[in-house]
Amino acid sequence: MTDDRLPADDPLPADELLETARRAARRAGEIQGERFGDPGVIRSKHPRELVTEVDVACEDAVREIIGAVYPDHDFLGEESGESGGGSAHRWIVDPLDGTTNFAQGLPIFASSVAYAHQGEVRVAACVIPPWGEEHWAVLGGGAFCNGRPVRVSDTAALDRAFVATGFPYDVKERGDNGLEAFGRMVLATLAVRRPGAAVADLCCLAAGRFDGFWEVGLKPWDTAAAGLIVTEAGGRITTYDGGPWEPSSPNILATNGHLHRAMMDVVAERR
């Protein structure tokens, strides 16, 4: 892989960024593998939102790997928040996505590392340790799982669609919690799943396992890397109303493209 996929004004070679992103995501994945079944002290950020010792250990490891190569870059991590001084280069990291699954011993969790230049995500690496899977993408360079190119599904009929979603931790407090859309989607599709790790859900969409995914209230660290993997695999991502999506958007509708309009209508109750 060469850096000619990035504009000439970008000084950073994509292959080096990708190598660092993959190394960091793999290291977090190794820690998760070693500590699965032994999550350590668990505390709550919110009555439903857990954080374990492993979330923090993974973020420390990722930050150390990225900081050793790119000490001047900004960093946004789920556990440590925002740091840096307004650099054009920013890393967006979920050290352990699917924390509740991990803490409960359910093998659906992931690490996620994205690199963005001037707000545009260009490099992504996600590791799903219990499945032995490493997903990655470079803007304009396609998406891969364990070295093989991946492509979204070609399912075009909503009643054949196998889709996934999730719910925000503040599901009880917010009006737009997605519960009604969940019911409508169950009736409209082949089946709906709620696996509990948005990074894994989006990687499954990119790999053609799921045909669509939607969720409200996700954070940039949940979607920055896996969002690029989906679009590089040929998928489409918008907000619920079809507007342009970015990792900081309040909601996400990601599909194989064929089902986008139909899923948007169900989410928005226009059918």
Binding site for ligand IPD (CB under 6 A): 78, 94, 97-100, 166-168, 196-198, 215, 218, 222
Q: Which is nearer to ligand IPD, 70 or 213 (CB)?
A: 213
Sign of the CA dihedral running 143, 144, 148, 150: negative
| Shortest Cβ 146–ligand IPD spacing (Å) | 22
Q: Which of 34, 10, 151, 182 is nearest to 96 (CA)?
A: 34
Q: Which is nearer to ligand IPD, 15 or 171 (CB)?
A: 171
| Shortest Cβ 72–ligand IPD spacing (Å) | 27
The CA-based angle 40-61-52, given to 5 degrees, is 20
Q: Which is nearer to ligand IPD, 166 or 220 (CB)?
A: 166
Q: Which is nearer to ligand IPD, 20 or 52 (CB)?
A: 52
| Shortest Cβ 195–ligand IPD spacing (Å) | 7
Largest pairwise CA distance in the chain: 52
| Shortest Cβ 80–ligand IPD spacing (Å) | 14
| Shortest Cβ 101–ligand IPD spacing (Å) | 7
Q: Which is nearer to ligand IPD, 164 or 259 (CB)?
A: 164
- Which phi and psi angles does 195 have, rounded to 5°? -70, -30
Residues 6+ apart with CB under 8 A from 154: 256, 258
- Encoded tokens for 138: 């470079």
